[in-house]
Each structure stands twice: as C-alpha cells, then as structure tokens.
Amino acid sequence: EMKIFLKTEDEINLMRKANQLVGLTLAELGKHIKPGVTTLQLDRIAEEFIRDHGATPTFKNFPNPFGEPFPACICTSINDVVVHGIPSDKDVLHEGDVISIDCGTLLDGFNGDSCYTFCVGEVNEEVKQLLRVTKESLYLGIEQAVAGNHVGDIGYAIQNHCQSYGYDIVREFTGHGIGKAMHEDPPIPNFGTKGNGVMLKAGMCIAVEPMITLGDRKVGLLPDKWSVVTRDHKPAAHFEHTIVVRKGKAEILSSFVEVEHLERLNF
Ligand code: MG
Ligand code: MG
C-alpha cells in the first residue's frame, strides 16, 4: 500500500526553500558550463554553494541498488548518459555536448530535487529540439498535476507530446513523491493513460521528471554501476521540477527562471 504524505502550508514553505536552493544551484552551475570545464569542477561548485546556504547535498552517499554510495553532490549526465552520471576530472565538456545536471538538497528537514539539461556552446538543431520538446513535456505534465486529476494524466501528457516528435520515453525511472524523504510515494511515470492511477490531492508534493531519448528508449548500466546510457548511444534529455499539487494550478517549487524568488528567499 502506498504512503502518501500531504503537506501543510508550513511544510510547503520549507519545501519551497529547499527547492529554490536547488534552482539557485542549477542557475549558478549554468554560469560555469562551457567547453573545457570538468564535471568534477561543477560538483565542487555545487557542494560549496549548497553548504554555504546551510543545506546538505542529498545525493552525496545516496545508495544505489547495490548498496554503493553515490560519491558526489550532483549527477552529471553527458550526451548518451540519461541519468546518474558521476562527476569526474576525466569528463571534460566539449562544444556541442548536452549535459543534464540533477541536484538535490536537504534543508530544514525537507528535500529539493530538480534537473536541467544544458547546452555546451552551440548544439545541433536535432538535439536542441529534443531539449525543447522534453522541457515542454515537463510543463505539459505539470499542467495536469491539479487536484482531482490522476497520475496517469501527467504521464499521458508527457508521453503524447514526446511521441508526437518520434522520441522515446525511458521507463525504468520515474518521477516521485518528495518531502522529508527524497523519494516518497507515489511514483510518477512519464507515460500513462488519462484517468488512471492515484488521484492527485492538494498538498501532494511530487517531482515530475521526463527522461526522453532521441533514438530508442533502451538503456544500459555502465560498469561504474551508476551511469545509465542509451544502448544506441543517441543523446537523451532530462528536465525535472518539484511541484505542489493545488486546486486549479500546480505551484512549481524549484523554478530558477523567476529571479524574484531570490528576494523572497532572504538567503
Ligand atoms: Mg532529480
Ligand atoms: Mg527526482
């Protein structure tokens, strides 16, 4: 049976702080993404930024299914790496790459979780479209995340949009409830049927995170036991926001586009 924790407005305020710190961290990292930078440098910047704001990087030491701790603060997934890429001084960004950076923070007992796929310099049109459509599908999914709708409405909106461009949807990983734990019920798949699944209620906090491939959706695990890659080695895109379900319209908690959040945060 699923355990879904509805959040009070006080708890949502804490969720917002943790998530806006993730958004700010991603915005800070965005300034440093250029050819020649290593993913380990990005990880150092993220760790300092997160700790300077009084939070803990949740991903650090988070165990994989083999019980091995994740060695870094952010997941850096380049090109054909879909998710869970490990920062390394050997991974240098090159012109034309795309890199998804997934980041999590724990602040005042609540979790933030968000991911953004960045371009390194000029990226070819085919891959830029993949990024644009994946991001659009995230917002279409979020539009469905209103009280009274179902989890399947979110998945359907994402799947329908991405498949209309011929893209494929990774199924091994999903979005999730989030709160005091980084992963709570319910799972939020990026595919589904309208009206199916758990009914959404006001106060549910969920992470919506389409992982979309330019080619085939089949993925494999690298020997590092973390990095998930497309088997055809075509690129993937991953965008994620943590949101709170409300009546009428969901609220995005992890936005870093809206800079007025900076003032509201009072960091
Ligand atoms: Mg994430
Ligand atoms: Mg997540």
| CA pair distance 188, 197, nearest whole angstrom | 9
CA of 103 to the centre of ligand 1 (A): 6
pLDDT of residue 227: 98
CA of 103 to the centre of ligand 2 (A): 9
| CA pair distance 73, 46, nearest whole angstrom | 7
Residue 188 has pLDDT above 50, yes or no: yes
CA of 184 to the centre of ligand 2 (A): 10
97, 120 contact by CB (below 8 A): yes
Contacts of residue 114, Cβ cutoff 8 Å, sequence gap at least 6: 19, 22, 23, 26, 102, 103, 207, 240, 241, 242, 254, 256
pLDDT of residue 255: 85
Q: How confident is the model at residue 257 (pLDDT cuts 50, 70, 90)?
A: low
> Six-digit token pair at 79?
């090109």
CA of 115 to the centre of ligand 1 (A): 5
CA of 110 to the centre of ligand 1 (A): 14
CA of 212 to the centre of ligand 1 (A): 14
pLDDT tens string 138-171: 999 999 999 999 999 999 999 999 999 999 999 9
| CA pair distance 2, 64, nearest whole angstrom | 22
pLDDT tens string 195-217: 999 999 999 999 999 999 999 99
Q: How confident is the model at residue 32 (pLDDT cuts 50, 70, 90)?
A: very high
CA of 105 to the centre of ligand 2 (A): 11
CA of 164 to the centre of ligand 2 (A): 25
Reduced to 3 states, what is the DSSP secondary structure of residue 237?
strand
